[in-house]
Amino acid sequence: MKEFENQEKDWAQLNAYQKEAVLDESQTCLVNAHVGSGKTTVLIAKIRHLHEAKGIDYGDMIVLTFTNKAANEIKARLLASDPAIPKAELEGFGTFHSVALDLLKKRLPRERLGYTRTFQVITPDEEQDLALSIIKTEKLKIKYKNRLKKRLEAARLYSADRPVAPGTSDDDEILKLLALLTDEKIGQNKMSFSDLIQNATTLINETPALCPRWIIIDEVQDCDQLQLDFIHSLKNKDTQLFAVGDPNQVIYSWRGSIGNVFAILKQQYQAVEKTLPINYRSSASILSAAKCFLKNGENLKGIREPGSKIVVKNQYNPFNEACYLADKIQVFHEAGVPYSEMAVFYRTQNQSKVFEAVFTKNQIPFEVSLKKKVGDVPVLNWLIKLLRASLNHQDVSSAVEVLAHKEYGEKITAKKARKIVTEGLVEQSLLFNKIQGFRKQCANIKTVPELQGYFDFDLYIHPNAASYQADQDAIRDFLNRMIDDAAKKQRPILDSLISFINSSALYGIDLTSQSNQPIQTRTDAEIDAVKLMTLHAAKGLEFDRVFITGINYGLIPLRLKTPAEEAEERRLFFVGMTRARDYLELSYYTNPDDYHVIPGESRYINMIPPQLVENQSVTSQPVNLPELKRQIQAAQVIQDVEKATAKFACKEQIKNQADPTAPALPPALRRVSHKKYGIGEVISEDETMIEVDFENYGLKTFVKAFSELEVFGDQA
């Protein structure tokens, strides 16, 4: 009874557009879910409606997402509404890759393709290393090796009716490489991410009885060709398809998404299209400004009040902006805004460094949205290959690399390692003997100390190395996660370890999340920290206050070559703007500190109607570039870390003024004025340079001879 009460309560919260989508019974229904329109709510309502009102078992549904986070959210919300759902019924709910992996492990005859049940998943980097090894061994002529990953993806789409991508010629052996690489992966019992989708598609086409009653897809606009083929293989004449997405959020063409998925599916399946036009998230001002970057944004409607205008700031350089944002964020936080409700967006990942440094100095808690994967830590990269080779004796390449590693392992030559592995010479290598015997001993290993004792890692990470303690800690942490995962799943240890290794390849593991918060106490729900992330990483998130930085040509947008690239950059900027609920601040640099980036605001700033903008009067002044260059060169003698330290120390002094027990302070800071930056306080100066902290612009450093500063008030 409680289940039905919850269903009625949830149903009452849907608007007319959402209800229409949920109740639609078309063979194929595409839902154009505009930004902030309750896409996930509709997806879950559809799934529950099919199960509770139409009697469709969860096991008869395939629910496909693009991120593990989205899949877990859907499953968690379903289990919250009905805790009695057996988790086994939700095995078809996951990312494209995880669902394909599950099908290949449990339901599809993978042996037809030459694989065993214990096949392992390898990352794109591992696949590329394997390909490069084949190129070297076979002396293949391959063009554009620096783009090898993309060229292999394009070659996979080759068929009689789908020509290979441009760039292949008679003297280029990319297709031969692909054939050899495929054979090598089969021989080593490995599948890449693309193989999971492609192999599952091949076998599903040969196993028509597998087709589910319903296929439900989240973020369908991001599909690539392999994923569309996978969907088509799952869908027979009786299978119904419900797909939700937003063509205005196509921002992943660089990784293969097609871009016109809605048109393709409508034509292929004569789909009915529904629309969710109401944005519940952003204020009317933010939404109106964001719509300026859409080609077809007239259907997007907001229901909120205008709220505050969009703030536009001209910052001198990224360091000055970081100092300014540290102050601004602290003011917001003291006014009651949680740190976790504030986010700083940028175009490229390397822009985060200055924010990390300044926020750390100013004690602003932050979290960088960049998952550090196992392969990013040298000792863990070695460890994962050791475990791969131990679990899969066909994995020759991992075993060779483990033995011949230059920092870990036995440090023997690659030639000798390959001879030992291919000829099975266990008597010539203690570590290879351990690798070969692991599967037999695996059932007796249930704790981390037992696993450490079996491999005796201290013999191979070398106590004399400077990284010894860090390597020990990293190995112990990883093994703890792996053993804990095995205990939770209550499955045979061998199966659990293989599953964990495959998951770490697919999703990575947030081993050392880049945050200045203690990792032991951190969970996504508990972290109260400012989020630092690229515009791409921001998709699917929302915050009360958003700062988008570096809106200069060369960053936002990047230097573009085609109209299609320009259209995608605008959509990306639209995605960033619509993450904000109540406050949006945009900024650009006079001195971007990057010769690829043009000083001054990009055209995107000027595309926003003036009536929606606050502080637009703060515009760039004419810049004498040679003189500015001399100033910058002189200012470089003051290191960034010294700037941040001086500012932080100054704040502490000002804070201590209210404390009668505090030590005596130096004389009051001098105040100066500038025709552009207003009134500020002198932080430091010498014979050549002067550094001033302006209220609205943060720290500025000048060459005295060109500063145009004037003493403010009566300070003589």
pLDDT digits (tens, 9 = 90+) for 344-358: 999 999 999 999 999
pLDDT above 50 (res 619): no
302 is in an annotated binding site: no
Q: What is the mean pLDDT of residues 357-383?
A: 84
Find out whether 39 is annotated in a ligand binding site: yes
Percent pLDDT > 70 in the chain is 84
Q: Give the pLDDT confidence score for residue 519 in this predicted structure.
A: 33
Asked if 220 and 541 touch (Cβ cutoff 8 Å), the reply is no
3-state helix, strand and coil shares in percent for the chain, rounded to the nearest 5: 50, 15, 35
The residues that bridge with 315 in the sheet, in sequence order, are 589
Task: State the pLDDT at residue 494.
Answer: 81
Per residue in 375-420, pLDDT (tens digit) is: 678 888 899 899 999 999 999 999 999 999 988 888 899 899 999 9
Annotated binding-site residue? 38? yes
* Band of residue 169 on the pLDDT scale cut at 50, 70, 90: low
Contact in structure between 377 and 490 (CB atoms under 8 Å): no
pLDDT given at position 642: 42
pLDDT reported for residue 316: 92
Task: Please indicate if the annotation marks 33 as binding a ligand.
Answer: yes
pLDDT tens, position by position, 283-292: 999 999 999 9
Residue 534 dihedral angles phi and psi, to the nearest 5°: -75, 165
Mean pLDDT of 77-93: 90
**The pLDDT value given to residue 713:** 58
pLDDT at 221 over 90: yes
Structure token digits, residue 384: 């994962």
Lowest mean pLDDT: which of 166-170, 369-373, 597-601, 635-639? 635-639
Candidate ranges 198-202, 450-454, 659-663; pick with highest mean pLDDT: 198-202
Tell me if 139 is assigned to a ligand binding site: no
Is the pLDDT at 9 greater than 60? The verdict is yes
Give the three-class secondary structure for 505.
helix
Q: What's the token pair of residue 193?
A: 């991410």
* Per-residue model confidence (pLDDT) at position 155: 85
Cα(231)–Cα(200) distance, integer angstroms: 11
34 is in an annotated binding site: yes
Residue 114: predicted pLDDT: 95
What DSSP string describes 312-369? EEEESSHHHHHHHHHHHHHHHHHTT--GGGEEEEESSGGGHHHHHHHHHHTT--EEE-
Task: Describe the crossing of helices 284-291 and 563-577 by its angle, rounded to 10 degrees.
Answer: 180
> Are 249 and 262 a contacting pair, CB within 8 Å?
no
Strand order of the β-sheet with 678-685 is 698-703, 689-694, 678-685, 671-674, 710-711
> How many whole angstroms separate alpha carbon 42 and alpha carbon 17?
10
Is a pLDDT exceeding 90 seen at residue 603?
yes
What's the pLDDT at 649? 42
pLDDT value of position 149: 86
Q: Which secondary-structure segment (H or E) carries 543?
A: strand 543-548
The pLDDT assigned to 160 comes to: 39
At 83, which amino acid appears? P
> In the predicted model, is pLDDT for residue 617 greater than 50?
no
pLDDT of 201: 95
Is 37 one of the annotated binding-site residues? yes
Question: Beta-carbon neighbour count of residue 98 at 10 Å?
Answer: 22
| Residues β-bridged to residue 515 | 367
Percent over 90 (pLDDT), the chain: 54
What is the structure's pLDDT at 366?
Answer: 94
Query: In angstroms, rounded to a whole number, what is the distance separating the alpha carbons of residues 142 and 123?
Result: 21
What is the structure's pLDDT at 664? 39
Q: What integer best gives the mean pLDDT of the chain?
A: 84
Of 515, 504, 506, 495, the closest CA to residue 381 belongs to 504
Which residues are paired to 583 by β-bridges? 545
Distance in angstroms (rounded) separating the CA atoms of residues 559 and 93 = 39
- Mean pLDDT score, 543-563: 94
The answer to whether the beta carbons of residues 224 and 257 sit under 8 Å apart is yes
Q: Which candidate, 205, 213, 209, 212, places its Cα nearest to that of 229?
A: 205
pLDDT at 641: 39
Tokens standing for residue 259: 């871009």
Contact 585, 313 (CB under 8 A): yes
